[in-house]
């Protein structure tokens, strides 16, 4: 849930280029201004097993209270004052990052039925224009939705689309707040007009039935934001939408999707450790839900369909997952037959069905290979990749009857690239590599993949990148270390043009593939959650010490960044080893673990108990309490900190970072800078639009550059 979450780039260093402003210089003298002080209002919190805590800043949860808004505004003003001397640097970084973007650009079209769908951007505009062409790429362009027109004058804007089976209608899902409540509107592509009416307060998740008139969509509880209902809406009717399914299990969230064959609509329920699916006949809106396999703790599965069978990726008796097939008429697990059996050292990350081929994403030590299996004779071929650290995966492939598979590839030195691979001839074709303007040359940069040894002997992968002529392995470079490490969500060695601003100034950038993710297989996640969560924090710290010991980073110039659940990681290491880091950036950080897990009315609670623990169970409560960043703040020195949040965040509520900063201000004994930035117009993902988001990135980079004395 906390997913999706936020990717970072960054880093600095010393170099001949910076003769006049070497990293050894003192940082600028900051204004002698006192920070905001949040008032203390003791509030007693009592667990079901009797343990009591006093929270002095519980009052910050009152979003509508003017004193809360006044406090957040005061913190923003304090940040502006304390970083005023970096304004020129921030503007330079923003201009630099923006200049690398090819402003007039478009995606690679993908074929779906008779149409080729794509998005394009116009120069100077933030949002995508959704387009299509019928029959061929030479046909006239049809504009489905112009994000710049729909998002005009909106402080926040997010849009995605889903076309109907006949392609004549398109559902537009729009959020203008950032809290992930989407309004669905339907456009008639024949007339170019919006149909009357709209569906409000949805999750934005939907699936079309084959009658071309019916939409299945999910809705969330307005308080907890748990996606708990699936409804059916028929266009042109005034009757109330029909409730198809309600997920009453408080630990589960539900959503819908079409199978690739478009024969079935799946209603899926899940949490971080378990899931199950039911299906409807997409040709019959009156069909009843049929269970595939009921919920079972610690068992997950994902379903697709082709022919007369369901194909299911599952971890049932398979920690690294396996692929099974089962008849549609007998979908239960007693009929599951292995197509790809479980393998001890290879993680099955995903699969894609084609008429004549099965494509599988096999992952080993965090690196992916795409394996192609021919249905007729079971012969195999593999799409392999040559760099030491990269990310590759199956891309958008909506058609079953094709010999082409589309995949994507990138590395820390290679911009995102889109390929078509002919499964018959085994020839690949580069369709597009994202153009990076401003003189980018991949050969100027070097990527490495190393293994750090954790304190318990586990080998933790580290993906590292730096600019060759700015890096010396002599313990003088500044370094930024990033990680996430939760929900089994793997962090990959991706490319970032924004990150170049740090690398070009001498920074080393490292991704720590810590336990809690799934880079090293299913056990990697299991070893970094629940009662083993501290492995995630220890892994990150041990990787930090590796970077220093092996001279990738200067001892006094190591920075750390993480967002959302990765922000929890930042909070934990801030308490555990504050002296190890020059500065820490915590983005939308999940830091008030106990209070959030105890409050069943807000997000990140009941359906995440199997990730973090159930605070109603004393043993799990005490373990979470022992690392919860907010609860573990002490009277001691802390590193320089930049903490960011969004007022409308639906995943990690703004009050978690706000309370944490208020408590740190009261307790810390150092003179290091502590800054809180609240985006008053955004949610979990930060600013919307490709240019607004760059300003957030420029702020983060300037924070670090300033601390090591780099002024330009």
Question: Is position 380 within any domain?
Answer: yes
Q: What is the DSSP letter of 34?
A: P
Question: Is position 404 within any domain?
Answer: yes
Tokens standing for residue 657? 């970072």
Is 504 within 8 Å of 470 (Cβ atoms)?
yes
The DSSP annotation for 424-486 comes to TT--EEEEEE--BTTT--GGGEEEEEEEEEPTTS-EEEEEEEEEGGG--TTT-S-EEEE----
Within 8 A by CB and 6+ apart from 203, the residues are 180, 181, 182, 217, 218, 219, 220, 227, 255
Choosing from 378, 400, 434, the residue where a domain stops is 434
Token pair 């209002």 is found at 41
Q: What is the pLDDT of residues 35-59, one digit of tens each?
A: 999 999 999 999 999 999 999 999 9
- Pairwise CA distance, residues 670 & 672, whole Å: 6
- Which residues are marked as active site? 564, 649, 684
Question: Is position 421 within any domain?
Answer: yes
Count the domains in the chain.
2
**Predicted TM-score of the model (pTM):** 0.87
Question: Is position 303 within any domain?
Answer: no
Mean pLDDT, residues 181-199 taken together: 94
Question: Is position 426 within any domain?
Answer: yes
Is the confidence at residue 18, as pLDDT, over 90?
A: no
Show the domain range for 423: 349-434
Choosing from 404, 434, 464, the residue where a domain stops is 434
Question: Is position 406 within any domain?
Answer: yes
Q: What is the pLDDT of residues 589-605, one digit of tens each?
A: 999 999 989 987 765 57
Question: Is position 256 within any domain?
Answer: no
Nearest to 661 by CA among 190, 232, 60, 46: 60
- Pairwise CA distance, residues 35 & 74, whole Å: 8
Share above pLDDT 70 across residues of the chain, in percent, rounded to a whole number: 94
Choosing from 386, 418, 434, the residue where a domain stops is 434
DSSP 3-state assignment of 264? strand
The DSSP H or E segment spanning 116 is: strand 115-121
Choose the weakest-confidence range: 2-16, 91-105, 631-645, 662-676.
2-16
Question: Is position 570 within any domain?
Answer: no
Within 8 A by CB and 6+ apart from 16, the residues are none
Q: Confidence band (pLDDT; 50, 70, 90) for 179?
A: confident
């Amino acid at each position: 849930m906390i997913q999706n979450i936020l990717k970072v780039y960054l880093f600095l260093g010393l170099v001949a280029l910076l003769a006049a402003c070497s990293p050894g210089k003192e940082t600028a003298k900051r204004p002698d201004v006192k920070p905001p002080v949040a008032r203390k209002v003791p509030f007693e919190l009592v667990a079901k097993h009797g343990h009591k805590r006093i929270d002095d800043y519980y009052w910050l949860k009152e979003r509508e209270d003017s004193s809360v808004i006044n406090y957040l505004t005061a913190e923003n003003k304090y940040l502006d004052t304390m970083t005023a001397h970096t304004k020129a640097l921030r503007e330079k970084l923003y201009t630099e990052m923006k200049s690398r973007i090819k402003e007039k650009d478009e995606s690679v079209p993908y074929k779906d039925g008779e149409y080729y769908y794509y998005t394009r951007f116009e120069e100077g505009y933030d949002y995508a224009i959704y387009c299509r062409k019928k029959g061929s790429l030479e046909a006239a362009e049809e504009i489905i939705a112009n994000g710049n027109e729909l998002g005009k004058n909106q402080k926040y804007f997010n849009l995605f689309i889903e076309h109907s089976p006949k392609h004549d209608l398109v559902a537009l899902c729009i959020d203008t707040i950032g809290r992930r409540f989407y309004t669905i509107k339907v456009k008639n592509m024949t007339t170019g007009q919006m149909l009357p009416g709209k569906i409000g307060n949805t999750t934005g998740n939907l699936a079309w039935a084959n009658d071309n008139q019916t939409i299945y969509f999910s809705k969330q509880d307005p308080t907890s934001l748990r996606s708990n209902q699936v409804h059916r809406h028929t266009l042109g009717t005034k009757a109330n939408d029909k409730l198809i399914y309600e997920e009453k299990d408080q630990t589960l969230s539900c959503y819908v999707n079409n199978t690739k064959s478009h024969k079935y609509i799946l209603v899926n329920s899940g949490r971080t450790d378990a899931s199950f699916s039911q299906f409807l006949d997409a040709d019959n809106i009156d069909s009843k839900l049929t269970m595939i396999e009921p919920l079972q703790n610690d068992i997950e599965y994902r379903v697709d369909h082709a022919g007369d069978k369901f194909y299911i990726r599952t971890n049932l008796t398979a920690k690294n997952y396996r692929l099974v097939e089962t008849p549609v008429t007998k979908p239960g697990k007693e009929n599951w037959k292995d197509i790809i059996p479980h393998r001890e050292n290879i993680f099955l990350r995903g699969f894609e069905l084609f008429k004549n081929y099965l494509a599988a994403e096999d992952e080993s030590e965090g690196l992916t290979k795409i394996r192609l299996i021919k249905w007729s004779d079971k012969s195999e071929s593999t799409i392999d990749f040559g760099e030491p650290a990269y990310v590759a995966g199956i891309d958008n492939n909506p058609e079953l009857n094709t010999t082409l598979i589309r995949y994507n590839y990138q590395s820390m030195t290679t911009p995102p690239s889109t390929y078509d691979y002919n499964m018959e001839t085994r020839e690949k074709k580069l369709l597009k590599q994202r153009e990076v303007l401003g003189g980018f040359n991949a050969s100027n940069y070097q990527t490495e993949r190393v293994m750090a040894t954790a304190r318990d002997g586990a080998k933790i992968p580290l993906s590292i990148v730096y600019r060759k002529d700015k890096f010396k392995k002599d313990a003088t470079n500044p370094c930024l270390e990033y990680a996430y490490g939760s929900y089994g969500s793997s962090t990959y060695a991706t490319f970032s043009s924004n990150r170049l601003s740090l690398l070009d100034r001498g920074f080393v950038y490292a991704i720590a593939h810590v336990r809690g993710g799934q880079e090293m297989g299913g056990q990697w996640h299991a070893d970094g959650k629940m009662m083993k969560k501290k492995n995630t924090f220890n892994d990150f710290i041990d990787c930090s010490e590796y970077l220093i010991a092996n001279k990738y980073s200067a001892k006094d110039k190591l920075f750390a960044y993480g967002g959302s659940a990765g922000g929890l990681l930042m909070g934990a290491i801030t308490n555990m080893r504050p002296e190890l880091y020059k500065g820490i950036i915590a983005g939308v950080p999940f830091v008030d673990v106990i209070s959030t897990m105890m409050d069943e009315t807000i997000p990140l609670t009941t359906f995440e108990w199997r990730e973090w623990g159930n605070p109603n169970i004393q043993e799990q409560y005490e373990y979470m309490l022992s690392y919860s960043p907010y609860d573990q703040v002490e009277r001691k020195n802390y590193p320089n900190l930049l903490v960011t949040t969004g007022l409308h965040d639906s995943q990690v509520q703004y009050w978690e970072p706000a309370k944490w900063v208020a408590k740190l201000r009261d307790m810390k004994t150092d003179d290091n800078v502590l800054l809180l930035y609240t985006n008053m117009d955004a949610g979990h993902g930060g600013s919307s639009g490709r240019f607004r988001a760059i300003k957030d990135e420029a702020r983060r980079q300037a924070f670090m550059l300033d601390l090591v004395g780099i002024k330009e």
